[in-house]
Amino acid sequence: MTQLTHFNEQGRARMVDVSEKAHTLRVAVARGEITMQPRTLQMVRDQMHKKGDVLAVAQVAGIMAAKKTADIIPMCHPLSLSGVDVSFRIDEAESKIEIEAVVKNSGQTGVEMEALTAVSVAALTIYDMCKAVEKDMVMGNIRLLKKSGGKSGVYVRTGEK
C-alpha cells in the first residue's frame, strides 16, 4: 500500500469500505511509556496513592478506550472486540512504566488503532491520577509492535524486544 486510503476521488475524508474483505482473526500489540520521578513511581508501585490502585484504574481505562476507539478517531470502524489486555512493566532503573496493549477481533479490519488508543489512554490515566504529586511526567514512545490478520498479513516492528 503506497497511498492514503481515507480519502475519496475528490480528496475528501471517507471511511474505507471493508465490506468485501474477508473475516479473519486480527491481533495488534502496541506499547508506550510514561516516565516520572522515582518517588512518584514508588507510590504507584506500592499502591500508596490516595486515589487508589493507579495501574488497576489505568488498565480498565485502556480497555474501555479500545472499545470506544471509533467514537474518538473519526475514520475508525466500530468493532466488536473479542479480547483486550492491558499490562504494565515498571522499570525502576529508568523510572518509567511501560504500557502494553493486546487487542483481538475476528473481522474485516484490523485493531491497530484500538491497541494504540488503549496504550495512550492508559498513560493519560496514570498522568491524571498522579498529577497532584507530579506534573512533569512524560508520556510517549507509543508505537505498534506487531499486527496480524487480513490481506496485508503480519507486521513486526524491527528492533523491539
> Domains of the chain: which residue ranges?
24-148
Predicted local distance difference test score (pLDDT) of residue 102: 98
**What nine digits make up the cell of 58?**
489505568
Residue 129 DSSP class:
H
Distance CA(39)–CA(48), nearest Å, equals 11
Predicted local distance difference test score (pLDDT) of residue 4: 61
Given a cut of 50, the residues of the chain with pLDDT beneath it are: none
CATH class of 24-148: alpha beta
Distance CA(49)–CA(137), nearest Å, equals 16
Distance CA(51)–CA(143), nearest Å, equals 29
Predicted local distance difference test score (pLDDT) of residue 120: 98
**129 contacts 97 by C-beta, under 8 angstroms:** no
Strand partners of residue 105: 26
Predicted local distance difference test score (pLDDT) of residue 158: 92
Predicted local distance difference test score (pLDDT) of residue 6: 64
| pTM (two decimals) | 0.90
**143 contacts 151 by C-beta, under 8 angstroms:** no
Predicted local distance difference test score (pLDDT) of residue 7: 64
Distance CA(156)–CA(81), nearest Å, equals 21
Distance CA(152)–CA(161), nearest Å, equals 23
- Three-state DSSP state, 100: strand
Predicted local distance difference test score (pLDDT) of residue 121: 98
**Which residues have a catalytic role annotated?**
128
